[in-house]
Each structure stands twice: as structure tokens, then as C-alpha cells.
Amino acid sequence: MDDLSTQQLESKNNKLGIALVGLGQYAEEQLAPALKQIQYCELKGIVTGSPEKIPHWQTQYGIPDRNVYSYQNFEEIASNKEIDIVYIVLPNSQHANYTVRAANAGKHVICEKPMAISVHECKEMIEACNRNKVKLGIGYRLHFDPYHQYTMQLGQGKLGNLRKVKGNHSMLLDDPSAWRLQKKFAGGGPLMDVGIYVVQAACYTVGKAPIAVKEAQFGKVSRPDIYDTVEESISGTLAFPDGILAHGTCSYAEASDWLKGKANGGSWELEPAYAYNGIEGSTSEGPMDFQEVNQQTLQMDEFAQSLLEGKETKVPGEMGCRDLAILMAIYQAAETGEPVPLESDKL
């Protein structure tokens, strides 16, 4: 699909249409409300396997019957000119399937993190989008938060040479029925969920891809009855160029949320660091003070704007594929007890 012309955009009241694929908690509580504040796109359609949810969404967001799809008739979205973008908000194991189907339908795609459950799937998604001339972005909302944008500056020279980064993102999860505890749906445990935020933060703080997983360890399992296919916790250290190290931890057995960095000219900390709102930060020179933003609004607007202006999004599919390669290497290091080199030219 070519970039939209000015005439086409004007016929859409200067906004692109977006459809949410999956109407779970994140779609309902974060993405849909964020779409009410967006400048360059608006909620036009839904795709769901839960018919009982449809009346609420139609009433709340004015979605007509013609823009409501099931997973079975999803391909019919190809002929719907009101919808330009689909946002995949499904369990991890379905990200590749629906991204490829959306691309084949000629729709641009935003896919939630993690991009998929294997590097092979990530590559298939990128290839499908390239083949169909549509764009692929990943739901990395924190790239658009001012606190995290400032940590990028701090890590990349504002306080001198960066030495190390540390982070922890953990949450309590002990519901045996949760899909996140089933490897066939999630692809792994907390590393594939909250842990990817810590890996992402390390990469954009340093401003480079890591060259190796120096070490990694699984934590002890306190609930073997529910943590039988995925890890309960895991920690590891990434090695970056110039001797920079980034240590991260994630777990489903505790609540923790922070990011710290140290350079030769000072240090900084965010806590909470990865939340949708309420992020707080300080540096060795004093507190950070930035206006709170709606991260999801800025994230989706940037993707829509990248389409309208024919530019690359800040968070492309290639970034998501890089991160999956890092996550898989962390698992390998934890399983083998050995360092795992990363081919930076492929990240």
C-alpha cells in the first residue's frame, strides 16, 4: 500500500482509521481511551471472538456493524476503506498470525510487545509487511514518555560516559488460569512480558544493541504447581560496546518497578519506571520534572504520522525482532550457564 495522498486523507477528516484486534484489558482500559485524544487516527473498527463485548464497544465508540469483525471473517477487512491500521492486542502466540493476515489484507500494523514468540516469526512478519508494502510498528510506548526520552540523553552523553544500567520490572501473578503462565500462549514467563521493558530500556539508554548476554539465571520456583511451563523469575546481564553492562531482573513473584543508570558524571533513577502514568525520576543533580503524557496516544499518533509523512516509525518491526533475539539469548544463557554472543549486525 502506498502512502496516503492528501486527497485521501482529507476524505477521512485528516484522521486514519484504526481497528483493535482483541478487546482485552489493555485494549479497553488503555488503547481505546487513548484513541479519544489522538490527532492523526481514530478508532473505527474492532475484531473480537467475544460477541457479548460488541454492544458495549459500539455504544461507547460509535462503531457501525460494517466495521465489526470476528477472527473467522477477519480477511474481509481488506475491502474496508475506513480502516487503515490494525493494532494486534492478542496473546503473544497470535501476534505473527494476525500480523501476516493483516498485511495480506493491505493494512498497516501495530503489534503489541513482544513482537512474537520466536525470531523466525518476527522475520515472517517483517517479510509479509514488506511484501504487501505496509508498515509495521511495535507497541513500545515508553519511547514516547518524556522521562524515558531524558534517560536516553543521560545515557548517551549528557552525564559523560555511561558505565552501567540496572532495572527491575516485576509483578505478582499467581492465577493458574492466566494465559501468561502457559508457554503455548506466552512463549515464556515474565521475560516475555514485563522483562522486555527492562531489555528495551537498556538498549535505548545505551543507544546501541548489546553484543552478548554475559550471564543469566532462572530464579527459584516457589509455585511449581503454576510455574510448570514458564519461568517464575529470571535475571541477566547484557554486555554492550565500550564495556557498558546492563543488569536486569523480572519476576511474577514480586512487585518491583525501577530503572537506574550511572555515568562518570552522575547517576539517575526512575521509580516507578515502566508504568502507564505516575513515573518519577531524579538525577544526582536533582529531581526530574516532566509533564505527564498519555504514552499510548503519542505512540499511535507517531505511527499514523509516519504513514502520512512517508517516514519510518521510531519503533519498527526490526526493533521488535532485535529484542526477540536478545530474549532468546537470555533464555539460552540461563539454560546453559554460558555467555551467548549476539550478532550485532543482525540486531
Strand (E) or helix (H) holding 18: strand 16-21
pLDDT value for 2:
47
Pairing state between β 108-111 and 233-239: unpaired
Dihedrals phi, psi of 269, to nearest 5 degrees = -155, 140
pLDDT value for 14:
75
CA–CA dist 203, 220 (Å, integer): 27
- pLDDT tens-place string over residues 3-50: 554 445 444 567 999 999 999 999 999 999 999 999 999 999 999 999
Between helix 146-155 and helix 195-206 the angle, nearest 10°, is: 50
Does pLDDT of 301 surpass 90? yes
Report how far Cα 114 is from the mean position of its chain's Cα atoms.
6
Q: Which residue has the cell 484522521?
A: 15
pLDDT value for 343:
84
Mean pLDDT of 190-208: 98
- pLDDT tens-place string over residues 221-261: 999 999 999 999 999 999 999 999 999 999 999 999 999 99
Strand (E) or helix (H) holding 231: none
Nearest residue to 135 via CA among 290, 328, 311, 295: 311
Percent of the chain with pLDDT over 70: 95
Mean pLDDT of 113-133: 98
CA–CA dist 13, 321 (Å, integer): 34
Q: Which domains does the chain have, with CATH numbers?
A: 6-141+299-315 (3.40.50.720), 146-292+323-346 (3.30.360.10)
Between helix 317-336 and helix 195-206 the angle, nearest 10°, is: 110
Average pLDDT of the chain? 95
pLDDT value for 345:
52
User: What pTM did the predictor assign?
Assistant: 0.95
Active-site positions read: 113, 197
